[in-house]
Structure formats: structure tokens, C-alpha cells
């Protein structure tokens, strides 16, 4: 991924971000969840996590989940998406999930549950893991017609730089079907351009036939590709001469 200049939302926000690296914030969250032995509850395709004030602050700073407003000021609930929850369980090993507040689900049980609700979950989780492991903050990109948006730091400090599409290698139910026709590509690029984001396509290639086991994640390879619109006016040989002569 080629990095451009970040678009900070305030003059001092770059200094705030540099003084508080996202990697350190995520590590603090990992330690807090591990020490508290926090259990989250499975609710359909989402995970509900009850957090005290300190844990809620770390979840917000690390940009995991979405806070749910309640009348209890001492506790706060967070709703985690499937990829977020599984990243905390599988990659960071700091969160336990239960169905009934008693029985802890294994990673394999949680994997099977998410796969049963979304066939392409393995590819989407691999893409999410790929970005998070590089210390990008990953949020839903549904409002821009993409799968994710990627931020250099917390969304309160900086605008997202990438609109991310996840493309599963091959046909079948695991493939998203995106970017197979030019009209889809043009529409997506126009939306990205209008909101000052670069389209990042993550192609998840599978080297193996078994998608049922967690081991398949080791057989996935993520390929990055950025796509931008070609603007002919920026590439004309006579552009420099016209600008020098003041010709419109």
C-alpha cells in the first residue's frame, strides 16, 4: 500500500496520534481483556460485550466495536462485528465468547458459527486480519458501497485513506462478485473519488481445498492492489505549455 499524506481532522491531531501509536493501544486492550477474563455473549452474527469504564475507554481508543447507549453509566455495552470479535479471540487471544453466559465457545465453534452465517467469512476475516496486523484501523465501509474503510489512526483524529473491497479468488459462494464488470468498477471509483479515498482491492487467494478448518487461514495469501481513476487532463503533453501561457 502506497502511503500518501494523511488528512488529519485537527491541527494537533497528528501529534496526538504519534504520541499514542495504535499498536500500543491495541496491546493495552489485549492486556486488559486478558487480565479481566472478560466474556462476551453471542447474539446472532454479532457479539455483545459488557465493559467497565476503563475497558470501554480502551475499546473506543482502539476502535473496536460500536458503543450501545444504556441507562447504566457505570457499564457500557459494545457490539462487535464477526471479524472484530474473531480477531480478538483468534489473533490476540484475549476474548472469550459464550452462548449462554456459562459455556465458553472454542475458536473452532465460533469459526463454524460465523461461517454458517456467511460463506465468505474466512476470506473477509483474512483481509481484516491483514489490515489490522499492519496497525490500520478497520471499520465497515457500507456507507461508501465497499467492504471496509481503513484509517491510519482513530477515526476521530484522521479521515480514512482507503476504501477496501475484498475479492475472494475463484467462483462460487465464497466470491463477492465485485469488479467483474466495468460499470461496477467505474461506479466504485467515482464514489471513492468523491470522498477522497483510494480504492484498495484485497484479493484473497486460496492455496488449498479445505475451508472448514482454521488451518485454511495459513493457506490464504492476500494481494494488495490500489486502483485510481485516469484523468486525461493530468497526462497531456501540452498541459505544461498551456499552463505557462495561461490558456484555459
As a whole number of angstroms, the distance between CA 97 and CA 119 comes to: 21
**Looking up cell 499524506, which residue turns up?**
5
Which residues does the annotation mark as catalytic?
Answer: 151, 159, 197
Domain assignment present for 7: no
Return left, alpha or beta for 42; rule: phi > 0 is left, psi -120 to 50 is alpha, else beta.
beta
pLDDT above 70 (res 140): yes
Q: What integer is the mean pLDDT of 6-16?
A: 93
What is the pLDDT at residue 35? 93
Return left, alpha or beta for 8; rule: phi > 0 is left, psi -120 to 50 is alpha, else beta.
beta
Q: Are residues 140 and 218 in the same domain?
A: yes
Q: Are residues 175 and 222 in the same domain?
A: yes
- Cα angle value 196/66/35 (rounded, 5°): 120
Rounded to 5, what percent of the chain is helix, strand, coil? 40, 25, 40
Q: Are residues 25 and 105 in the same domain?
A: yes
pLDDT above 90 (res 33): yes
CB 159 within 8 A of CB 145: no
Q: Which one of 84, 118, 152 terminates a domain?
A: 118
Which domain covers residue 161, as residue numbers? 119-229
Q: Are residues 164 and 182 in the same domain?
A: yes
The DSSP output letter for 53 is H
Domain assignment present for 235: no
Q: What integer is the mean pLDDT of 119-145?
A: 95
Exposed / middle / buried, residue 179 (Cβ in 10 Å: 0-12, 13-18, 19+) = middle
As a whole number of angstroms, the distance between CA 182 and CA 9 comes to: 34
Domain assignment present for 236: no
pLDDT above 80 (res 72): no
Domain assignment present for 171: yes
Pick from 51-55, 91-95, 200-204, 231-235: least confident: 231-235
**Looking up cell 475479492, which residue turns up?**
167
What is the pLDDT at residue 173? 45
Q: Are residues 87 and 182 in the same domain?
A: no
As a whole number of angstroms, the distance between CA 168 and CA 222 comes to: 10
Domain assignment present for 244: no
Entry pTM: 0.87
- Cα angle value 124/130/131 (rounded, 5°): 95
Domain assignment present for 6: no
The model's pLDDT over 198-220, given as tens digits with 9 standing for 90+, comes to 999 999 998 876 777 898 899 89
Q: How confident is the model at residue 170 (pLDDT cuts 50, 70, 90)?
A: low
Return left, alpha or beta for 145; rule: phi > 0 is left, psi -120 to 50 is alpha, else beta.
left
Q: What integer is the mean pLDDT of 10-35?
A: 95
Q: Are residues 87 and 163 in the same domain?
A: no
Q: Are residues 86 and 26 in the same domain?
A: yes
The DSSP output letter for 81 is P
As a whole number of angstroms, the distance between CA 134 and CA 159 comes to: 17
The enclosing domain of 83 has a CATH number of: 3.40.1170.20
Domain count, the chain: 2
Q: Are residues 22 and 102 in the same domain?
A: yes
CB 160 within 8 A of CB 149: yes
Domain assignment present for 5: no
What is the pLDDT at residue 34? 93
Q: Are residues 39 and 81 in the same domain?
A: yes
Amino acid at each position: 500500500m502506497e502511503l500518501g499524506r494523511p488528512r488529519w481532522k485537527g491541527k494537533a491531531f497528528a501529534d496526538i496520534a504519534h504520541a499514542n501509536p495504535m499498536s500500543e493501544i491495541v496491546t493495552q486492550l489485549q492486556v486488559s481483556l486478558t487480565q479481566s477474563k472478560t466474556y462476551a455473549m453471542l447474539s446472532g452474527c454479532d457479539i455483545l460485550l459488557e465493559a467497565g469504564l476503563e475497558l470501554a475507554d480502551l475499546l473506543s481508543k482502539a476502535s473496536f466495536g460500536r458503543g450501545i447507549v444504556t441507562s447504566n453509566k457505570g457499564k457500557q455495552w459494545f457490539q462487535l462485528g464477526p471479524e472484530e470479535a474473531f480477531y480478538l479471540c483468534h489473533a490476540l487471544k484475549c476474548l472469550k465468547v459464550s452462548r449462554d453466559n456459562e459455556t465458553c465457545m472454542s475458536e473452532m465453534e465460533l469459526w463454524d458459527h460465523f461461517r454458517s452465517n456467511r460463506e465468505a467469512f474466512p476470506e473477509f476475516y483474512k483481509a481484516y486480519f491483514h489490515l489490522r496486523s499492519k496497525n490500520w484501523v478497520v471499520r465497515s465501509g457500507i456507507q461508501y458501497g465497499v467492504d471496509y474503510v481503513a484509517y491510519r489512526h482513530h477515526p476521530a483524529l484522521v479521515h480514512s485513506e482507503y476504501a477496501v473491497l475484498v475479492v475472494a479468488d475463484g467462483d462460487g459462494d465464497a466470491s463477492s462478485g465485485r469488479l467483474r464488470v466495468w460499470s461496477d468498477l467505474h461506479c466504485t471509483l467515482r464514489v471513492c473519488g468523491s470522498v477522497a479515498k483510494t480504492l484498495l482491492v484485497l484479493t484473497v487467494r486460496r492455496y488449498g481445498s479445505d475451508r472448514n478448518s482454521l488451518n485454511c487461514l495459513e493457506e490464504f495469501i492476500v494481494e494488495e492492489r490500489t486502483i485510481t481513476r485516469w484523468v486525461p487532463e493530468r497526462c497531456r503533453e501540452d498541459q505544461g505549455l498551456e499552463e505557462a501561457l495561461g490558456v484555459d
